[in-house]
Amino acid sequence: MRMTKIVSDMLIVAWIKSYPDFRRNPLTILLLATIGAIPLFFMLIFSGGGLLVHGLIGALLSSVAFVAVLSGVQDISWDRYVKIREMIVAMPVHPASYALGVALAPLLLSIPSLVFFGAVIASLGALTVTTTLWTILAIVLVWASMSAIGFTISTYLSKVSMMVLNNVSTLLGFAFVFVPPVFYPETILGNLSWISVLIPTSNAAGLVRSYMGLLPLSTETIIIRWLILVATTVAFVVLTSVKARWRET
């Protein structure tokens, strides 16, 4: 199959998965922004503004991470339920187009939140051109890793009911975004701060903080953390591809 067809199909699937929400259910966009805004609101009150940029970094990453893991689980299981996936399997569509399209949709839905929180961070003077580029890379890797985790769950739990999967994915979304140091600095964890490296959301948050001068990390540590972020994504992609079958056996 031609690469141009694979890419254009991916964009069509992403459009199918995001456009109706943009057009007919814009509250979804607001809801995504709220996921980041609510903890930010409390941080602002309780820290007196001292942790504002930390919170904004959390808001930025959470608006992608939360919806990416949800989408990876819920969109796939919903498509299975309504048989859209079966229809697409029988079409001249490459499985990669479908998977990447489903993954891309939450990123599109997150754009308004990303722009909003990014603009607030920029207005506080915490972003330079270099920092912006590293932050974008961190966002992309958080999106990729969380989508991959979502796909892994929906692939390995394909026999589980959709209601259970929806709850599992929502709980996971909250767990990945609110429990580890995404909104707050990992130094608060003291000796346990290494845990944040293992979780894609907090690992990315730590990297962004280091580029913004909020977390002192050595060059070696930064490189290792990037590699761990990439490795986590690759591991979950591999885990999914081992089990996933486009055509059922």
The site for another protein (CB under 8 A) is made up of: 1, 5, 9, 12-13, 15-16, 20-21, 24-25, 81-84, 86-93, 247-249
Closest distance of CB 227 from another protein, Å: 36
Pairwise CA distance, residues 52 & 121, whole Å: 9
Nearer to another protein, 2 or 216 (CB): 2
3-state SS assignment for residue 131 = helix
3-state SS assignment for residue 139 = helix
Nearer to another protein, 5 or 243 (CB): 5
Nearer to another protein, 29 or 51 (CB): 29
Pairwise CA distance, residues 73 & 87, whole Å: 19
Alpha-helix runs per DSSP H in 48-94: 52-82, 84-89
**How many CA atoms does the CB half-sphere of 220 hold within 13 Å?**
0
Rounded to 5 degrees, what are φ and ψ at 90?
-85, 10
**How many CA atoms does the CB half-sphere of 229 hold within 13 Å?**
24
Pairwise CA distance, residues 26 & 39, whole Å: 22
Closest distance of CB 8 from another protein, Å: 8
Nearer to another protein, 93 or 207 (CB): 93
Closest distance of CB 102 from another protein, Å: 13
Closest distance of CB 24 from another protein, Å: 5
Nearer to another protein, 87 or 171 (CB): 87
The residues, any chain, with a CB within 8 Å of residue 74's CB and separated by 6 or more, are: 162, 165, 166, 169
Token pair listed for 214: 């909020």
Closest distance of CB 148 from another protein, Å: 23
Task: Tell me which DSSP letter residue 246 carries.
Answer: S
Nearer to another protein, 12 or 120 (CB): 12
Closest distance of CB 88 from another protein, Å: 7
